[in-house]
Amino acid sequence: MMLNPADADFAAALDGVVPSGVFREIEPRYLEEPRGRLQGRAGLLACPRTTQEVAALIRAAHDARVGVVPYGGGTGLVGGQVLTEGPAPLILSLERMNAIRAVHADENVIVAEAGAILADLQAAARAADRLFPLSLASEGSARIGGNLATNAGGVNVLRYGNTRDLCLGLEAVLPDGRIWNGLTRLRKDNTGYDLRNLLIGSEGTLGVITAAALRLAPIPARSGTAIFVVASPRAAIDLLSLARDRVGEGISAFELLSGQGFDFLSETLPDIRQPFDTPPEWCVLIELGLIAALDPQEQLAELFEAALERDLASDGLIAQSEAQRDGFWMVREQVPEANRRIGSVSSHDVSIPLRALPEFIAKAAERISEIGDFRINCFGHLGDGNLHYNIFPPKGADRTAFKAQSGIVARAVHDLVAEFEGSISAEHGIGRSKVTELEIYGDPTKIAAMRAIKSALDPQGIMNPGAVLRL
Amino acid sequence: MMLNPADADFAAALDGVVPSGVFREIEPRYLEEPRGRLQGRAGLLACPRTTQEVAALIRAAHDARVGVVPYGGGTGLVGGQVLTEGPAPLILSLERMNAIRAVHADENVIVAEAGAILADLQAAARAADRLFPLSLASEGSARIGGNLATNAGGVNVLRYGNTRDLCLGLEAVLPDGRIWNGLTRLRKDNTGYDLRNLLIGSEGTLGVITAAALRLAPIPARSGTAIFVVASPRAAIDLLSLARDRVGEGISAFELLSGQGFDFLSETLPDIRQPFDTPPEWCVLIELGLIAALDPQEQLAELFEAALERDLASDGLIAQSEAQRDGFWMVREQVPEANRRIGSVSSHDVSIPLRALPEFIAKAAERISEIGDFRINCFGHLGDGNLHYNIFPPKGADRTAFKAQSGIVARAVHDLVAEFEGSISAEHGIGRSKVTELEIYGDPTKIAAMRAIKSALDPQGIMNPGAVLRL
């Protein structure tokens, strides 16, 4: 069933459906994605201001059988926001629906529209003396609707969960234009199927999220940050275990960094101050957020002593000031930028059962070295078993020369992930870049069920066509 | 589309599909539910031992268009486990699939079959020095498959979440007999729609859960239990807020008890030792689970001092021994039994946005007093905004005399819940008892989407017919 383009006829059909001011010129940024690898298409760009306008647009697209690409901050890394082939779609940007509708500080709930920028949401929570824990590199431009649509992860998942775990209720427009008002702020509600979690992570293919009720957390009374040098990924995991025994739920982040990452930073961003004169092969960045009765400096110092005793850490730095803390995090946060400047042959967002992670890292390096002479930057959210596993050409070589090997390298990594019962997309989603991988590595019964659900809720296939499931 | 009964023809069709030992005599307990209000029907009872046998049975039922009622521990309170009308179904009991398949203590994961009894799962976790946090009154007979199918709640939701929050992966048989192997133990996996959460809470209407990978938590190094007398539900909520500021995520449970509950206990279970000579009108049971660096007795004592200062508590008891702790919890856990012995006119499992909860309690009492002279026992999981709101005849009167008013009372409570944007089923589910309520109070767009999903995954409607959605 072929879709129709969002052409002049469709534009005419929309006349009077929503005010003409809803439509905007399609600037190039709506057709690009952060890594510059895909080129999108569009016939029309709509920037509705209300849920009713979103519903009217979707209903019209449904009637005319025109594809709709929901658009948040455009920061997705798997092409979910750019439609690259087929009839030009309607891009539906939520950018004008960016209100914080309510902050219920005493209930630890914030209600925001889908277009709210993540950093603004964090700020609104902070203004009410609360924490909205979702935190990721693109938070200055990512919008919460996109975070929800992709079930974004980030650095605080270990303690607070993925985006789905932070969501209590949704308001959304389904593919026939009907509005679902599920904007509850209840902690417990067992009245029927979990439509909320079905929409979260469906990457705009089952409807458009227009608003969400989200969990807040108390801001930890005291926090502390440290970098510990560890001998190996295995030592890092044992250190996490030790830290958990000692401070329980107080560990907000536990990030792995590799020597290769430090080298890339030196090479591409020499102004960034690095914590060690000689970059260690492996280290972890630990963030604690504790209650007033506990001293984070003391806890980190004691943890370091205990780790030293058990040969789990050989060196360490505990941030002594806010500036030093920011410096540690700057290093972590700029690693993706350094990677981008080096230019990867192939980059992966994988998760592995925690216990098997060290073996995966060793085996993956082995397999890649069999393919050729590459550099590997393996880093990420160790506490979640989530590695950003990126492969680069040898020093001095240009990645274009290795383009031909990119598919072979990717296949080798993903095959190994499958052998380890891991995930080929831990936090970025499927989008359009990983549709084939999902077909290869996904459970066939699950994919058949996904297709059945998609056909049931969106029989015309207008919602984000070609994302997650092949047309 | 009428279903066929699980009759002699169907039994003949099953010959050779699974070994004959899979079939058992249908004892009366499979046709009853805990409150004795519904009478089930069945044509056949199958107790498969493997996922393959479950798949073969479902496939045969699918081909013959015979209804299937999945059966766990039979402890559900909304009739999801008993089919009361229509063609006699196949009851599919998971009781023989009760293996703990694996304990990954270092990953905080346990993998169990659906028929594992909740208490056995807790014990298996404890044997590995871990905590499986799901805890509820029926844990001695409830099976984890049923807990998942109904997204059970219980006393530790405040800290550890509902059953869905404890589940990492599922193995399930879909309504066409295909096996979905989604038994991942990953913390992050964004590869397609969230089939796991769709099955969790769908009460057996979208498939049969056969196994699950579940989260474990470290056992808190030190724990403490207290009962504080509070002046009102408002004071209880403010006390929770104060406790959160002081001990953060260390609060494992925060339960509200009413004076009426204590009176019912005295009346029906006089041997249970009550904490106060004169039952207070309201009190809360607080459980702390802390890291080694914090002393729970000290934290509770300081919390009490702070609460006293702010007029949030007037009296309190901190358990000084394991026996005293068990005594406090015994009181809480026997309240439902006391209620059962008194005999309610109408009982409700509702949740209300936390801030509005005191107002709800006041208004509900008002509305019920307008209907007649009733006694109310309002208690439950205050930290989750979840009240068990039960209405009883006046002292000395028999509930049968008030039978006629039960519908009016229920309607008054649920109307008020809707006015407060609460849930008419916080943790028990819809089953068959609340199908009409879901139709009245549910969002119509959501219900339409649920119907579409049900038809897509189970076009013949064989899975737990009449539960959640009307036939």
Task: Identify the pLDDT of residue A1.
Answer: 65
| Residues in B 361-420 with any Cβ partner in A closer than 8 A | 381, 384-386
Percentage of chain B modeled with pLDDT above 90: 97
Nearest CA in chain A to B186: A353
Predicted ipTM of the assembly: 0.97
pLDDT tens track for A258-285: 999 999 999 999 999 999 999 999 999 9
Q: Which of A169-173, A296-300, B349-353, B397-401 has the lowest mean pLDDT?
A: B397-401
Q: Are B124 and B103 in contact (CB under 8 A)?
A: yes
Question: Which chain A positions have a beta carbon within 8 Å of B147's beta carbon?
Answer: none
Distance from CA of A447 to the nearest CA of B (A): 8
Closest CA relative to residue A462, chosen from A45, A48, A58, A27: A58
Q: Are A69 and A42 in contact (CB under 8 A)?
A: yes
Task: Identify the pLDDT of residue A96.
Answer: 98
State the pLDDT confidence band at A450, using cuts at 50, 70 and 90: very high
Percentage of chain A modeled with pLDDT above 90: 97
User: Residues A90-101: what's their mean pLDDT?
Assistant: 98
Task: Identify the pLDDT of residue B261.
Answer: 97
pLDDT at B138 over 70: yes
pLDDT tens track for B421-432: 999 999 999 999
Quote the mean pLDDT of chain A: 96
Distance from CA of A267 to the nearest CA of B (A): 31
Sign of CA dihedral A149, A155, A156, A158: positive
Task: Identify the pLDDT of residue B1.
Answer: 65
User: Residues B102-131: what's their mean pLDDT?
Assistant: 97
Half-sphere exposure of B267 (CA within 13 A, CB side): 16
pLDDT at A35 over 90: no
Q: Is B452 on the interface with A (CB under 8 A)?
A: yes
User: Residues A48-66: what's their mean pLDDT?
Assistant: 98
Question: Which chain A positions have a beta carbon within 8 Å of B189's beta carbon?
Answer: 351, 423, 425-426
Task: Identify the pLDDT of residue B36.
Answer: 86
| b/e map B416-429, b = 16+ CB within 10 Å | bbeebebbbbbbbb
pLDDT at B14 over 80: yes
User: Residues A142-146: what's their mean pLDDT?
Assistant: 98
Q: Is A70 on the interface with B (CB under 8 A)?
A: no
Task: Identify the pLDDT of residue A404.
Answer: 87
User: Residues A132-144: what's their mean pLDDT?
Assistant: 96
φ/ψ of B220, rounded to 5, equals -55, 135
User: Residues B441-451: what's their mean pLDDT?
Assistant: 98
List C-alpha distances in Å: A386 to A239, A242, A330, A349, B189.
16, 19, 20, 7, 9
pLDDT tens track for B188-210: 999 999 999 999 999 999 999 99
| Residues in B 118-177 with any Cβ partner in A closer than 8 A | 150-151, 153, 157-158, 161-162, 164-165, 174
